[in-house]
Chains A and B, each alone.
Chain A
Amino acid sequence: MHENINPDVLLELDRVSHFFDDRLVFKNISLKLPRGEVMLLAGPNGAGKTTLVHIMTGLISPTSGTVLSGVPSEKTAYLGHHTFIYPGLSGLENLRFWAGMYRLHKSLEELEDLLALVGLKGFMHENARTFSRGMAQRLSLARVLMLQPDIFFLDEPATGMDAQSRQMLRNEISKARHRGASLVWVSHSLQEDLDQADKVLYLENKKQAFFGLTSDFKDVLQERLH
């Protein structure tokens, strides 16, 4: 799965279809994600956006079609609605555990810097159980930033975040973009997030209803409204 011909394409899907048992989720999704681009993944509820992201990350294999990834799994970051945080461990312990799982050698200072970056340094020895939703999401963001990923999968991470955390997420994402990282972004607030994307993949009626440049997508939207 982790092989790629073109080094500038980080992710390539070719005629990917997926079934849950006999029920079709979507069919014939094909796309290429070049380095440094942001792709917005949109569609109505139940269109299979999260399933498609899971297929892109390699978490599940599609029923048919191929997924080619130019990024090894240790450089792939997934930030979803769920934070992956162990409530029984402190913020620091959580971070240290995930560093271990990714075989990253992080000193205490490095981990503290990361926590300072997301504004949690003062709470790092506290049990993650006591964290608010926003704090938990920021800890999750620190975990993702620690990996220095080449590709981000963001599945509505902003849900339940306060304005400050949301701004922090935006800043860090744009920094990563400048570094050359690519992004796949599942969005529910299309109008709000559209301007930050280079490309849009719109899922509807179990297929790829639109895939292309954001500007073209805006035209399609306009046509639909009239």
Chain B
Amino acid sequence: MKDNSSLTSLAGPLALAGGAAMVLAQYFIWVYAPVEVTMGQVQKIFYLHLPVAWWGMICFFIVFCASIGFLIRKSPGMDQLASSAAEVGLLYTTLALATGSLWARISWNTWWTWDPRLSTALIMWFIYAGYLVLRQSIEGRRKMRMVAAVLGVVAFLNVPLVFMSARIWRSIHPAVFASEGGGLEPEMLTTVIVCVAAMGLVTAALILLRFRQKNLQERLWSLYASDSRFNG
């Protein structure tokens, strides 16, 4: 527990730094970066879409690593980290899907299209939503943690196959729209990098805060459970 508290004490400073970085990122998005010619202001969605999509995937990778850690060391902390990362990852993927859909509407005139990346994100969203539902539904915490960890591992291993199959699927159903290609303006690229970095700080803060909550909840629970007055 001691080693966790030094880690979770970083949550506050990270959140502050993340907040400041987000403010800075707004300057880059609205003032520094040029307005895109064809899409206009709507293109600014991109500066939210890309960081959340990116960090969402990283969150799922954290779930994967923490799940392996849990299976090896059986420490509840690893499980708490995995579930915190899964929650944040699911939130980000939801945002990525929503912003992606808005983008698609403006850019390709449709709310949804079979784009390999978009489809992979949606399928990941389903898998990790299932992961969180599973955590609520299995009786017995030890069993739930084992099953969740196994799912956390196989879910991430599955990502390349999901992406690959989504791409092959698309090739027989040629999409009407080409995926957004071409190089970014250098100012835009700088802005994207700033946004990704800012979002990274926010992500770390969110995961750590949630992790600390779960940690405290667990300790409270075990205090309650070990109190002889409640055991009879």
Contacts and interface: CB of A to CB of B under 8 A. Distances in A.
Asked if A and B touch directly (CB within 8 angstroms), the answer is: yes
Q: Which of A23, A24, A46 has the most CB of B within 10 A?
A: A23
Interface of A: 20-24, 46
A22 B231 contact: no
15 contacts: A20-B142, A21-B76, A21-B141, A21-B142, A21-B218, A21-B222, A22-B76, A22-B218, A22-B219, A22-B222, A23-B222, A23-B225, A23-B226, A24-B226, A46-B231
A22 B214 CA distance: 14
Contacts of A22: 76, 218-219, 222
Determine the main DSSP class of B at the interface with A: helix
A46 B228 CA distance: 12
A7 B76 CA distance: 39
Interface in B125-157: 141-142
Nearest to A63: B74
Interface residues of B, number: 9
Contacts of A24: 226
Contacts of B219: 22
Interface in B95-114: none
B120 to A, nearest CB: 35
Given A21-B222, A23-B225, 13 more contacts: A20-B142, A21-B76, A21-B141, A21-B142, A21-B218, A22-B76, A22-B218, A22-B219, A22-B222, A23-B222, A23-B226, A24-B226, A46-B231
Nearest to B141: A21
Contacts of A46: 231
A23 B218 CA distance: 11
